[in-house]
Amino acid sequence: MRILMTTDAVGGVWQYATDLAAALTPHGAQTVLAVLGPEPSPAQRAEAEAIRGLELVETGLPLDWMCDSAAPVRAAGKAVAALAREKHVDLVHLNSPALGADTWFGLPVVAVNHGCLSTWWEAARSEPLAPNYRWHRALMRRGLTSADITVAPSAAYAATIARHYRLPDTPVVVHNGRRPLPLPPQSGEAPADFAFTAGRLWDDVKNARTLDRAAALLTVPLRAAGSTRGPHGEEPSLEHLDRMGQIDTAELAGTLAQRPIFVSAATFEPFGLAVLEAAAAGCPLVLSDIPTFRELWDGAARFVAPHDAAGFAETIEALRDDPLARRQLGQAARKRSAQYTPAAMAAGMARLYSGFLPDEGQGRAAA
């Protein structure tokens, strides 16, 4: 089974794609990983090269959400189709469904929507999508409806996609998976006396402003890792969070190993890999009460209304004052995280792939 999978080196899709490619190897899959957008870092290249059966192709093609019009996205889709023919793959896995809007691949196409501009806009703004982005929504709908099957990382986001794009069928749900971070030895038994959040702090839907107000009410620091300045100059005023800036994987692992109370006030989240990383490290979770987090973490987290800063502060302080509850919540989060592994994700995707592939011995569709 040879798969052409698109990815980018900018955000979480890179981690998804490399984790999935590695976990697909036991299923007999070889992955051609086609990178669009900015080139991977040396560390990312090394990560990809360590995956058995993976071929990394840096296409130089633009990312759909970084384009100003539909034309370059259509051209990129055609280039990806040509690459699929050149590499003699059996199936195309698009992590950017807009690439499939006006492209004939001549192969089965699986489109996975990890999040998109139009659904983000709906969640972040109280106004219709700006006219200069409507072309992207149109491409996304055509890409999703023309794929042989569409996939979402959670049932909550699958329902959002189906409604938002008026799809004839709700996308299939395959939960994301993530390898636990390699944690350094813990310095002591007692967990750290601080709260922690991680993500794009500039992004309105990550709701850092609510956490900033909560931080002002806490008796311990609320540390925040991630960029505070967005690609278009977005930069919220954050006065009370203990900002750490961008941190690398080793620093993130070192922070999570201290088992702080992990907090997310996101108002929109297709899945939430940062939450999964924290849960796998045994951190107790305090999360916004949104459908995605309820689906994934109900019974293994404390929930607070997304904009209730006082509620977040009170819940964090209550866990600090109750070490037994804090420990039990961290254990519950770690146990639940074991459901969301790369192996489980790969098994789900392999089942979908197999439904479109010829029986062994019949040859490849693109050969």
- Residue by residue, DSSP assigns 174-218 as -----PPP-PPPPS-SSPPSSEEEES-TT-GGG-HHHHHHHHTT-
Pairwise CA distance, residues 332 & 60, whole Å: 43
For residue 231, the model assigns a pLDDT of: 66
Kindly provide the b/e burial profile for residues 265-283, where b requires at least 16 CB atoms within 10 angstroms of the residue's own CB: bbebbbbbbbbbbbbbbbb
Pairwise CA distance, residues 106 & 90, whole Å: 10
Same fold yes or no, 2-178+342-354 and 195-337: yes
For residue 78, the model assigns a pLDDT of: 97
For residue 361, the model assigns a pLDDT of: 44
Asked whether the beta carbons of 262 and 207 are under 8 A apart, the reply is: no
For residue 189, the model assigns a pLDDT of: 67
User: CB-side exposure of 213: number of CA atoms within 13 Å?
Assistant: 11
Task: Tally Cβ neighbours within 10 Å of residue 230.
Answer: 14
CA-based R_g, the chain, Å: 21
For residue 12, the model assigns a pLDDT of: 84
What residues have CB less than 8 Å from 86, skipping those under 6 apart?
none
For residue 233, the model assigns a pLDDT of: 66
Pairwise CA distance, residues 57 & 152, whole Å: 25
Pick 195-337's CATH classification: 3.30.70.141, 3.40.50.2000, 3.40.720.10, 3.40.710.10: 3.40.50.2000
For residue 127, the model assigns a pLDDT of: 87
Nearest to 24 by CA among 342, 358, 357, 356: 342
Residue 226 phi/psi, 5-degree rounding, is 135, 165
The three-state secondary structure class of 344 is: helix
Nearest to 156 by CA among 115, 207, 192: 115
Tell me whether strands 195-198 and 2-8 are parallel, antiparallel or unpaired. Answer: unpaired
Task: Tally Cβ neighbours within 10 Å of residue 363.
Answer: 10
Q: How many residues does the chain have?
A: 367
Helices (H) and strands (E) in the chain, counts: 13, 13
Amino acid identity, position 62: P
The angle, 0 to 180 degrees and rounded to 10, between the axes of the packed helices 208-215 and 309-320 is 60
Reading the block at residue 329, the tokens are 């919540």
Kindly provide the b/e burial profile for residues 236-256, where b requires at least 16 CB atoms within 10 angstroms of the residue's own CB: bebebbebbeeeeeeebbebb
For residue 190, the model assigns a pLDDT of: 79
Pairwise CA distance, residues 42 & 47, whole Å: 9
CA distances (Å), origin 349, targets 147, 354, 357: 15, 9, 13
Reading the block at residue 82, the tokens are 């040509």
CATH fold of 2-178+342-354 reads Rossmann fold (3.40.50)
For residue 359, the model assigns a pLDDT of: 62
Asked whether the beta carbons of 267 and 205 are under 8 A apart, the reply is: yes
- Give the DSSP H or E segment for 156: helix 155-164
The series of mean pLDDT values per 10 residues for the chain, 367 residues long, is: 94 92 95 95 92 95 92 97 97 97 95 94 89 94 96 98 96 95 75 93 92 96 87 77 90 94 97 96 97 98 98 97 96 97 97 82 41
Amino acid identity, position 179: R
Q: Where are the domains of the chain?
A: 2-178+342-354, 195-337
Nearest to 218 by CA among 257, 263, 250: 263
Beta bridge partners of residue 152, listed in sequence order: 173
